[in-house]
Amino acid sequence: MAEITPLMKQYLETKRQHPDAILFFRVGDFYEMFYQDAITASKVLQIALTSRDKSKENAVPLCGVPYHAASAYIAKLIKAGYAVAVCEQMEDPALAKGIVKREVVRVITPGTLIEPELLSPKENNYVAAVTWDFAAPIEKAKGIGLSYLDLSTGDFRIASAEGWSEIESELSKIEPREIILPARLEGKEHPSVFFPNRWPIRYVPSALFLPEQAEALLKSHFKIHSIAALGGDPLSLIAAGALLGHVQETQKTALGNILSLRPHSFGEQMRIHPLAQQHLELVPTSRRESAGTLLHILDRTVTPMGGRLLKEWILRPLLSPAKIAERQEAIALFYDDLPLRIRLRNLLEKIADLERLIGRISLKAAQPRELIALKDSVALLPEIQKTLSGATAPLLADLLRTWDNLDEVYQLIENAIVPEPPPTIKEGGVIREGYLPQLDELRRFQKEGRAMLTQIELQERRRTGIESLKVRYNQVFGYYIEVSEAHLKKIPPDYIRKQTLTRAERFTTDELRSIEQKLTGAEEAVLALEASAFEEVRHDLALQAARVQAMAKKVALLDLTAALAEVAHQNNYRRPEVNEGMMIRIVEGRHPVLEQFGARETFVPNDTLFDPPSQRLLILTGPNMAGKSTYMRQVALIVLMAQMGSFVPAREATIGIVDQIFTRVGAQDALSEGMSTFMVEMTEMAQILRHATPRSLILLDEIGRGTSTFDGMSIAWAIAEYSHSERLGARTLFATHYHELTQLAGANEGIRNYHVSVREWNDEIIFLRKMVEGGADKSYGIQVARLAGLPAEIIERAKAVLKQLEETSWRPALSPPAAQPDLFTSLPPAKTETHPALERLRKIDPLHLTPMQALQLLAELAEAAKEKSE
């Protein structure tokens, strides 16, 4: 350490405080990185890796980036999953005595971004905290607390559940950029089991998860006497306190945009199992994908706030018909009044991201142009209010009753900030004339000083007779008089040489020095006053954060309802009836995504009817590629769209409230967990049957295909019966290739058979895409194989094998259980001649045979089989 320079000692001490972050260490006009940080950053950023003290044997690895371009480099590191600690110079190096004072002013992590260029406009950016009794694995926890925060918008929520499945469902909806856990869990197995690569983990000091510390942080931040005022249960509040402490530590500033904590109740919204969310392709599965999802089809929003609200509506459909009807009324208003919709959307598209603007203002990160963006957006609010003045839909009427034009916000920025400011406050010229008298006086002096410089130039030209003499300025030498080489003999004796150039000399005088000192002092004073005034304006605006956030939510609601009206108009959607009944009736329903981006062929609409108890389980049969899966998904999507308040792709629809949507489709292994395709299928089915209720909607596709034919058929039969029975009685769509399951409809009133109709033509099949009542009599597997491009010789051989199997196979008939739960009952034996070997086998007791007797018996049976075949 004796050989380490003061700068490197300062760096190492700062790095010790932030071991898990890449340290951007400000040195002059660069952020420099050393040691392993430099090696890592040079690879991720693809910049040159050099070294400090190259002449020494153990040179320190070094890389750096210009300070003015740092945000782009930080973005790359964050995208790669790293955290970045930004260490700034806290004093002017020219005035510093000894080593320049430096401090980490912010730690940027994937979950705590507030920079617009690093965020997706229509996506929330959440960081989450999860807590339970850490002494036990999370899968055995009797209670789990969850908290999550989008720092950029101030959206802070809590939730709690008895088990992991509900917490997993919530995390699947919010897709946090990172989850914080106490450092005591690092290296243990159970967090990694439940937080795999989907959600990166960041370990933080375990003390943040102590109940007393979490409680103290929440009380201090929200300025309350008791955390009972926040709602929620103890576990969720511990998670919230830990998360708040972590964000305070990383941001190094007051979190002025976090104004409330919203408890989330799982019982008020439809539950969408994570697999159903994935299988139905509701939202992108990664931040890069968008096309082909329901979100992509419905997103006609013109503001970032509206786009984020749309995602929330899709993932959190309502369970209250009354609240759904309120949303429908608002959408219907814009649907029926095209001129109103156009006027409103034209105004809304000019509004910036109010939530994130006020967030950056509150976090002291906003620059002058962001304040102007806020002012220009607020200026549109009175016109929007006027446009909606005749709105009668209850949701819109309530919104207008509490409308706030934010006049004080507009006036403050209008009075203080010039209309077209520079990008940063450091450049000056930001504060309006007339806002601060002291600043105006200094600026007048600057103007007078510049006029004095012009007078000095004229004066010196006359005095010296040098017409080319110039009074100039640069940042290194300040103000100077420049005289060309040809006129050097004319300079007066009181000129003081300042710099020699190739063809000129630069001088100063006592008079010029005096003016320079005054001007330099004035420039510094102007910049300091502007910075102080801007900080004051930003502080005063931050005090209005609650009002701005409230209006941002109103703008989002207007944007979303008008956007849903727009997409309904464009795509021919209709308003569904949503009620407390059990019936689901859809007339000419369509898949909202595939009808837009689907195939080359015209989309064929289909009807659906669930009417428990008389029609509760629909068994779907038909060939692959005929459209069974599309039909099932479209039913679920129409139900979901109806309960989010949207119009739906159908001619008519009546939707009895669905509390949960489950899907079991596709075949996949979970090899990393030692689970086969069939085991995955059965595990997922167990979860569905354990959590489903009579109000649930279940989509089952090809259950049982991961095992032997008869085993699979048995399980599929039993699951179908259980889903239909009074023990569950859920509304279920069951697609299968086990045609034997169609026998269930004959013995159960609530089960109906449907199949996708096809037509055969010259040994080819034509998919009609129409769902009709009755079971399919063939699977058309060979015809589908031909369509897929299998070689002709394989197709011909398959036909021959199929014919032989159909002639020789024997299938047991299936019947529903009577008094006993047996699933299979064989028909009386067919009246055919029994093989002697088979008769003899039936009489053998293998447990009482010696090895020698078994071999002898096998030889005799083989001989008998040969004789019979001859």
* Residue 731 and residue 597 in one domain: yes
For the chain, percent of residues with pLDDT exceeding 90: 61
* Residue 180 and residue 251 in one domain: yes
Query: Sign of torsion, CA 128 133 139 144?
Result: negative
The CATH number for 207's domain is: 3.30.420.110
DSSP element (H, E) containing 137: none
* Residue 48 and residue 163 in one domain: no
pLDDT of residue 748: 81
* Mean pLDDT, rounded, for 707-715: 73
Q: Which residue has the higher pLDDT, 847 or 196?
A: 196
In a domain, 282, yes or no: no
Nearest to 175 by CA among 192, 199, 201: 199
Is 50 exceeded by the pLDDT of residue 671? no
In a domain, 481, yes or no: yes
Q: What residue type is 65 in one-letter code? A: V
Out of 58, 86, 108, a domain closes at 108
Return the DSSP state at 123.
S
* Residue 359 and residue 250 in one domain: no
The 3-state DSSP class for residue 816 equals: coil
Q: Which residues are paired to 50 by β-bridges?
A: 62
Q: What average pLDDT does the structure give for the chain?
A: 87
pLDDT digits (tens, 9 = 90+) for 564-573: 999 999 999 9
Q: What residue type is 606 in one-letter code? A: N
pLDDT of residue 851: 62
pLDDT of residue 678: 74
- In terms of phi and psi (left: phi > 0; alpha: psi -120 to 50; beta: otherwise), the region of 704 is left
Q: Which residue has the higher pLDDT, 760 or 92?
A: 92
* Residue 549 and residue 594 in one domain: no
Is 50 exceeded by the pLDDT of residue 309? yes
| pLDDT band at 449; cut points 50, 70, 90 | confident
Report d(CA 14, CA 3) in Å as an integer: 18
pLDDT of residue 55: 65
Strands 155-161 and 144-150: antiparallel
Out of 553, 571, 589, a domain closes at 571
Buried-state track 440-462, b at ≥16 Cβ within 10 A, e below 16? eebbebbeebeebbeebbeebee
Q: Which residue has the higher pLDDT, 758 or 302?
A: 302
Q: Note whether 532 and 428 are within 8 A (CB).
A: no
In a domain, 774, yes or no: yes
In a domain, 249, yes or no: yes
* Residue 402 and residue 453 in one domain: no
Is 60 exceeded by the pLDDT of residue 90? yes
| pLDDT band at 778; cut points 50, 70, 90 | low
Q: Which two tokens stand for residue 427?
A: 């450049």
Q: Which residue has the higher pLDDT, 822 or 95?
A: 95
**How many domains in the chain?**
6
Q: Which two tokens stand for residue 413?
A: 């920025």
| pLDDT band at 869; cut points 50, 70, 90 | low
Report d(CA 30, CA 26) in Å as an integer: 6
Is 50 exceeded by the pLDDT of residue 1? no
Burial grade of 403 (CB within 10 A; 0-12, 13-18, 19 or more): middle
| pLDDT band at 537; cut points 50, 70, 90 | very high
pLDDT of residue 467: 93
Nearest to 751 by CA among 799, 783, 719, 786: 719
Query: Sign of torsion, CA 769 775 780 785?
Result: positive
Cβ within 8 Å of residue 7, ≥6 positions away: 27, 99
Is 80 exceeded by the pLDDT of residue 600? no
The 3-state DSSP class for residue 257 equals: coil
* Mean pLDDT, rounded, for 454-461: 92
Out of 268, 291, 311, a domain closes at 268
In a domain, 287, yes or no: no
Report d(CA 232, CA 394) in Å as an integer: 30
* Residue 233 and residue 97 in one domain: no
The CATH number for 71's domain is: 3.40.1170.10
pLDDT digits (tens, 9 = 90+) for 115-143: 998 899 999 999 999 999 998 888 888 89
pLDDT of residue 477: 82
Report d(CA 743, CA 332) in Å as an integer: 45
The 3-state DSSP class for residue 476 equals: coil
Angle at 121 between CA 115 and CA 127, to 5 degrees: 65
Which of 378-387, 673-682, 807-816 has the weakest average pLDDT?
807-816
In a domain, 126, yes or no: yes
Is 50 exceeded by the pLDDT of residue 30? yes
Nearest to 159 by CA among 128, 198, 194, 202: 128
Q: How far apart are the first and last CA of the chain?
A: 97
Nearest to 361 by CA among 532, 543, 104, 117: 543
* Residue 717 and residue 590 in one domain: yes
Is 60 exceeded by the pLDDT of residue 861? yes
- Give the DSSP letter string of 660-719: EEEEE-S---BGGGTB-HHHHHHHHHHHHHHH--TT-EEEEESTTTTS-HHHHHHHHHHH
Q: Which two tokens stand for residue 688?
A: 């569905």
* Residue 128 and residue 250 in one domain: yes
Q: Note whether 771 and 631 are within 8 A (CB).
A: yes
Cβ within 8 Å of residue 254, ≥6 positions away: 362
pLDDT digits (tens, 9 = 90+) for 283-294: 997 666 677 899
Q: Note whether 61 and 35 are within 8 A (CB).
A: yes
Q: Note whether 613 and 729 are within 8 A (CB).
A: yes
Report d(CA 556, CA 562) in Å as an integer: 10
| pLDDT band at 248; cut points 50, 70, 90 | very high
Angle at 495 between CA 494 and CA 501, to 5 degrees: 160
* Residue 240 and residue 327 in one domain: no
Report d(CA 181, CA 276) in Å as an integer: 28
Instruction: Please give the distance of CA 374 from its chain centroid, rounded to a whole number.
Output: 25
Burial grade of 323 (CB within 10 A; 0-12, 13-18, 19 or more): middle
Q: Which residue has the higher pLDDT, 382 or 185?
A: 382
In a domain, 792, yes or no: no
The CATH number for 495's domain is: 1.10.1420.10
pLDDT digits (tens, 9 = 90+) for 834-858: 667 777 777 776 656 666 666 677 7
Which of 470-479, 563-572, 582-591 has the weakest average pLDDT?
470-479
The CATH number for 589's domain is: 3.40.50.300
Q: Which residue has the higher pLDDT, 329 or 757?
A: 329
Cβ within 8 Å of residue 669, ≥6 positions away: 675, 676, 677, 680
Q: Which residue has the higher pLDDT, 795 or 716?
A: 716
Q: Which two tokens stand for residue 57?
A: 């044997």
Give the residue numbers spanning the domain of 846: 836-869
* Residue 563 and residue 605 in one domain: no
| pLDDT band at 181; cut points 50, 70, 90 | very high
Phi/psi at 834 (nearest 5 deg)? Answer: -90, 135
Candidate ranges 517-531, 598-612, 685-699, 770-784; pick with highest mean pLDDT: 685-699
* Residue 700 and residue 762 in one domain: yes
In a domain, 527, yes or no: yes
Is 50 exceeded by the pLDDT of residue 820? no
* Mean pLDDT, rounded, for 444-451: 82
